[in-house]
Amino acid sequence: MKKRGSKPARFKVTFLPFETTLEVAAGTDLLQAARAGHLPLKATCGGLGTCGGCVVRIVRGECRRKSSAALSSKLSSQGYALACSTQIIGHLTVELPQFEELFLEKVVDFRVTDELKDGLSGVRENDPPLRKIGLSLPPPSLEDNSSDWRRLERELRNKVSFETLDGKHSALRKLARSVRQDQGKIWVVIHKKGGAAVVLDVGAESASRSIFGLACDIGTSTVALHLVDLESGKILGTASSYNQQLKCGEDVISRIDYAQKPGRLLELNQLVVATINHLVGKVTRTAKIRPADIYYAVFAGNTTMTHLFLNLDPRFIREEPYVPSFNNVPEFRGADLGLGIHPEAVAYCAPAAGSYVGGDISAGVLATPLLRDTEKISLFIDAGTNGEIVVGNKDWLMTCACSAGPAFEGGGIRCGMPASRGAIDRITIGENGRVEYSVIQAKRPKGLCGSALVDLLAELFVQGLIDRRGKFKQSSPGGPIVMAEHGLAFRVEEGRNTHWGNDLLVTENDIANLIRTKGAVFSACSTLLKKLDLGFDRIESIYIAGGFGKSLRVESAIRIGLLPDLDRAKFHYLGNTSLFGAFLILLSDRNKRMAEAVGQKMTYVELNAEPKYMNEYTASLFLPHTDASLFPSVGRKGPTG
Amino acid sequence: MKKRGSKPARFKVTFLPFETTLEVAAGTDLLQAARAGHLPLKATCGGLGTCGGCVVRIVRGECRRKSSAALSSKLSSQGYALACSTQIIGHLTVELPQFEELFLEKVVDFRVTDELKDGLSGVRENDPPLRKIGLSLPPPSLEDNSSDWRRLERELRNKVSFETLDGKHSALRKLARSVRQDQGKIWVVIHKKGGAAVVLDVGAESASRSIFGLACDIGTSTVALHLVDLESGKILGTASSYNQQLKCGEDVISRIDYAQKPGRLLELNQLVVATINHLVGKVTRTAKIRPADIYYAVFAGNTTMTHLFLNLDPRFIREEPYVPSFNNVPEFRGADLGLGIHPEAVAYCAPAAGSYVGGDISAGVLATPLLRDTEKISLFIDAGTNGEIVVGNKDWLMTCACSAGPAFEGGGIRCGMPASRGAIDRITIGENGRVEYSVIQAKRPKGLCGSALVDLLAELFVQGLIDRRGKFKQSSPGGPIVMAEHGLAFRVEEGRNTHWGNDLLVTENDIANLIRTKGAVFSACSTLLKKLDLGFDRIESIYIAGGFGKSLRVESAIRIGLLPDLDRAKFHYLGNTSLFGAFLILLSDRNKRMAEAVGQKMTYVELNAEPKYMNEYTASLFLPHTDASLFPSVGRKGPTG
């Protein structure tokens, strides 16, 4: 019984997985609400209900849905709805399906373990600084009524060497009871650090459990982690999702800017910590272990991500002379960082080399063979949203960073998505314009991941559908080229064959984004090499990392001018080196020291201070390059447009 | 407008300084409420309003007071009331004046600093492991854009030597801003520990403040602390109060028993932490400093008190074979222990030698000359509620403990009180029965502190008013002997001359308590020496500690048989050695190591396992002793009764 003239009722809408809750007036549509909450929901048609980009899943609550041709009745019956066509008439919880956890089995499939496993820079020994040790304390007597702690120390000395023994308050609190539960048989978790040993936890033998570690890559766009059994060194599970900070900006610069208003640094910090804790929850539930049994966590991220993860203002990274708060960071307590693991867990962040070359790279280098050779020069390219390049060998390392953008991880591209279930990961276009593709673990595609986008760009170019500047050669629709809202587009697949029921289209704007991204990476490489007075021909091996997906084809990457035109045998695609490097650091302090040495050894080149960089970049905004002679093998095969 | 038959209203009553709040029915009297809350309010008349023992001060709220002859109208007008004669008719906050902060200037007046200052075992150097250091970081530039942390580390190495540098998360969070506030001029607080240095805090030069430490004695009955300027080593303030745990039992055994029900350990922990935080608040307000500027705290207490302070179950201390959780305890964070000081402050507890000889004794030994001599044997008596005896020299130490009871700290005695303002601290009785006394910082006495109780017992005995068993010789009232509720009593002062307006009476029951206490201490000494086959004549020096008050007269203590009958020049009364020892440990890690060595070196004798102890104790329950030949000088002077 609403009175006339009274204000409209207001309802709470929660968007998962961001856990953002807003209060909006009754009748607001979900797309308006998502925009008010700065949520990254795409709607290329501008909310007309035609593109199908703003699909959401209704988890709980009542809403009024208009039917739309852009959403199949099957999906509609499964609870999916278009945000633009859904009115809020009660409290509501919805999920943005594009931001569900990714199925990263494929992304983190380690090529390195197959191709190069014995040739990596990092050592593959299992000797973590955190250990669980079983002890059997002799019973106290009137003759020897040493304290529980003293008896623990004595027995521990028989098993581990240390100069000083410390312990956490929470461990000491459990000691007396644990010692008496199983006739003196206990386990302790110790952290060895130099000559000191610190008891993090203690328990009775009958309550013994395995102890676990986390290796985590904190990317600007995606966060991925491994759950590791610290005793065997085995990876028990892997989880990954978008970084929830995405709603605050796509790249590190926009995140730093976002952080400058009051409360925003904490918001960014809480978003990334929530992302990590969400993944910890997922991976521990699957492995059926308690999060509190995780005692060690190693994080690798770019410098801005690490600052935000540590709740440190990244502002001075962005201001000349670009100084971070830290490169090498001390170890902190899990509880200090808000992590949902053991409160006294040791949390370590891989060391950075500079403001724009972070721990993801010093860890990443360990996951390459770069440091094994004193003679041969290698190039390491991590083509994430923040792109980093390292060139060097065992004796010297030089590095730079560029803002590549998220295109290769599926961001900023209309039909882009990460390399997870439902992603097209390989594409070929026949001479007739006929498209063939493969989909990750699904039949109907949802979108295209990085490797497919690289393929597609190469094929469009090689088949003569686009010119060197990335423009469609034909000026009107016909064949696979169709008219979309804002101009011509290449149709990869028709809506009736796709998961969401909408056409998979690639526009000129998407192509321009891809070209900018590949251009930023290639020009960073060439600028760095020119600074060293090295030609690409001096490079013996090229290691590529990034979120492209497992199926990146080097041939395609060379055809678009992302990678230099060298002997294909020199290229090795390594996947997520940051995550694998974090895992190596977790396994052994020797790797940790190596990462610290890498961080200190790398000479950082600030591209913004390099006069040649802008020219190099501009010259790279062609397919494959302004200077076609740099890509002789591409010239031989493809048309020059 | 209360309806008939409805339940009576209920009101909240809060008792200070315990901060205990109860809800009671309207009309309940305050004494009933205090008893329901287990608050230590004395009412020797049983709530008849005649003894005046249950005086409280009304801080806030409404109540209905009956006038009583036992409370002067002046006190009544100042807000005082007798709990037994006060009805609760609204929410009420009252203070138990006997449990206000003590004025401990006198108790902690260091005789040691005068008489023995250069002869103490502990070193008097000012070299604490916590230091504040001013640094001037060079400005970052494009040529050297090392991180803030790296530049801090480089500058710090110019001033302090360390192998590894660590830092607390909260410090790192403040770094970037601090560095930029005053052109790179900052201060850091570091904790040096072996080869490691840990940055606990950081700030801009313009926000520079002094850093402070706490030395704290956690006694069973009273808690006392010093606020210390860590840079100068000077004591800036001192505060002391009853241990709020008192309401849960008077001695360590009753506290351990109390802790065995669910929730009770936490209650005891919170009571002692609240006591300490209350004192920290007081001492910092007086000194006009921020509690968060306290970065180091050293605690000395008996083993049970230290367990309860650390929230550790003390149960196994009480059960054979009497094993504590720890003797040497690691350092903890202030925040771990709930202390209202800097969250990352280093909290250290002086090490124990055994279940019944705690950190108060290993610290206390530092505040005596015991360890300075390799030849002479000394005796150290700490006559607190838990009495401890140490005998030995630089080369060996033997120790035991006895349950002395709180009588010498003013507990368990009708007119007893700590040595604070208003306490009678010296008494003489003339042959005519006339009493002369001195009062600490007041005109009208409130009660008698330990030194006066020792005096009184000696005078009553020497003047022939009591016999060797402590019974009044006259069987009916007359002269200073009056009739009290439960029998004869010696009247120290009439109510019209006292602060609270009630007679200061000492009953036969009080005298029996005092005799049990002195007997426990003396028999512990004699048992320990007999075990070593040493006579008292082999002891060169006797150091006495405890809460008697500054004015303890050795002569009186010998007359009652508390101390052995030796050359008076051998005796040194040192006051609160536990507090002074904690202060010495705070000043220098050399003292900390010395205390740890003391803890390890001491051989602990369990008196309960000594067959002779009970006989020794029973023989000591006479004035001065069953064997009067042990006290020849007393025999010469006093009557044998």
First to last CA, chain A: 68
Nearest CA-CA partner of A583 in A226, A114, A120, A113: A226
Adjacent-strand bridge partners of B403:
B386
Phi, psi of A423, rounded to the nearest 5 degrees: -85, 135
Q: What whole-number distance in Å separates Cα of residue B304 and Cα of residue B81?
A: 36
Q: What whole-number distance in Å separates Cα of residue A14 and Cα of residue B597?
A: 61
Quick: pLDDT tens for A371-412.
988 889 999 999 988 899 999 999 999 999 998 888 998 888
The CA distance from A306 to the nearest CA of chain B, in Å, is: 12
pLDDT at B326: 85
Q: What whole-number distance in Å separates Cα of residue B52 and Cα of residue B44?
A: 8
This prediction's pTM: 0.85
Quick: pLDDT tens for B209-238.
999 999 999 999 889 999 999 999 999 998
**Is B323 within 8 Å of chain A by CB?**
yes
Is residue A640 pLDDT above 60, yes or no? no
CB pair distance less than 8 Å for B326 and A150: yes
- Provide DSSP, A254-274: HHHHHTTSTTHHHHHHHHHHH
**Is B162 within 8 Å of chain A by CB?**
no
Handedness of CA A155, A160, A162, A164 (dihedral sign): negative
CB pair distance less than 8 Å for A337 and B149: no
Mutation for A interface: B169, B308, B313, B329, most A CBs within 10 A: B169
Q: What whole-number distance in Å separates Cα of residue A629 and Cα of residue B402?
A: 95
Chain B residue numbers touching A163 (CB-CB < 8 A): 194
The CA distance from B456 to the nearest CA of chain A, in Å, is: 41
**CA separation (Å) from A615 to A98, A636, B115, B538, B610?**
37, 26, 84, 95, 93
Contact in structure between B241 and B223 (CB atoms under 8 Å): yes
Q: What whole-number distance in Å separates Cα of residue A460 and Cα of residue A467?
A: 9
The CA distance from A55 to the nearest CA of chain B, in Å, is: 40
Task: Name the amino acid, one letter, at B31.
Answer: L
CB neighbours of residue A257 within 10 Å = 15
The CA distance from A328 to the nearest CA of chain B, in Å, is: 8
Phi, psi of A434, rounded to the nearest 5 degrees: -75, 130
Quick: pLDDT tens for A53-100.
788 889 999 899 888 877 888 888 888 899 989 999 999 999 887 766
CB neighbours of residue B115 within 10 Å = 12
Name the least confident of A44-48, A596-600, B87-91, B513-517. Answer: A44-48
**Is B606 within 8 Å of chain A by CB?**
yes
Residue among A195, A310, A321 whose CB faces B145 most closely: A321
Nearest CA-CA partner of B601 in B300, B399, B387, B401: B399
Q: What whole-number distance in Å separates Cα of residue B69 and Cα of residue B52?
A: 9
pLDDT at A101: 55
CB neighbours of residue A282 within 10 Å = 18
Q: What whole-number distance in Å separates Cα of residue B393 and Cα of residue A456?
A: 88
The CA distance from B236 to the nearest CA of chain A, in Å, is: 30
**Is A149 within 8 Å of chain B by CB?**
yes
3-state secondary structure of B198: strand
pLDDT at B218: 97
First to last CA, chain B: 68
Which residue in the block uniquely carries the two structure tokens 């050293």? B298
CB pair distance less than 8 Å for A176 and B315: yes
Say if residue B446 is exposed, middle or buried (CB neighbours under 10 Å; 0-12, 13-18, 19+). Answer: buried
- Please report, rounded to a whole number, the percentage of residues in chain A having pLDDT higher than 70: 94
The CA distance from A546 to the nearest CA of chain B, in Å, is: 26
Is residue A106 pLDDT above 50, yes or no? no
pLDDT tier, A6 (very low <50, low <70, confident <90, very high otherwise): low
CB pair distance less than 8 Å for A332 and B169: yes
DSSP assignment letter at B415: T
Quick: pLDDT tens for B169-203.
999 999 999 999 999 999 999 999 988 999 999 99
Chain B residue numbers touching A322 (CB-CB < 8 A): 142, 145
**Is B181 within 8 Å of chain A by CB?**
no
ipTM field? 0.82
- Please report, rounded to a whole number, the percentage of residues in chain A having pLDDT higher than 90: 63
Q: Average pLDDT over chain B, rounded to whole?
A: 89
Chain B residue numbers touching A601 (CB-CB < 8 A): none
**Is B166 within 8 Å of chain A by CB?**
yes
* Residues whose CB falls within 8 Å of the CB of residue B348, separated by 6 or more in sequence, listed in order: B296, B297, B298, B299, B329, B331, B585, B592
A/B interface, count of CB pairs below 8 Å: 146
DSSP assignment letter at A337: G
Closest-CA residue in chain B for A609?
B142
Structure tokens, A396: 């010297």
Q: Which helix (H) or strand (E) holds B387?
A: strand B386-392
- Helix A148-157 with A169-181: angle, nearest 10 deg: 90
CB neighbours of residue A136 within 10 Å = 11
Contact in structure between A334 and A380 (CB atoms under 8 Å): no
pLDDT at A641: 37
Provide the pairing of β-strand B377-383 with B539-545: parallel
Residue A321, preceding peptide bond in cis (omega within 30° of 0): yes
Adjacent-strand bridge partners of B81:
B56
Name the least confident of A198-202, A346-350, B82-86. Answer: B82-86
The CA distance from B607 to the nearest CA of chain A, in Å, is: 12
pLDDT at A115: 60
pLDDT at B146: 84
Is residue A113 pLDDT above 70, yes or no? no
Contact in structure between B378 and B392 (CB atoms under 8 Å): yes
Chain B residue numbers touching A330 (CB-CB < 8 A): 165-168, 172
- Provide DSSP, B390-410: EEE-SS-EEEEEEE--SGGGT
Nearest CA-CA partner of A412 in A440, A447, A437: A447
* Residues whose CB falls within 8 Å of the CB of residue A261, separated by 6 or more in sequence, listed in order: none
Quick: pLDDT tens for A135-162.
999 988 877 878 899 999 999 999 999 9
pLDDT-flagged residues of chain B (< 70): 1-7, 44, 99-118, 635-641
**CA separation (Å) from B221 to B38, B40, B275, B415, B547?**
16, 12, 11, 16, 9
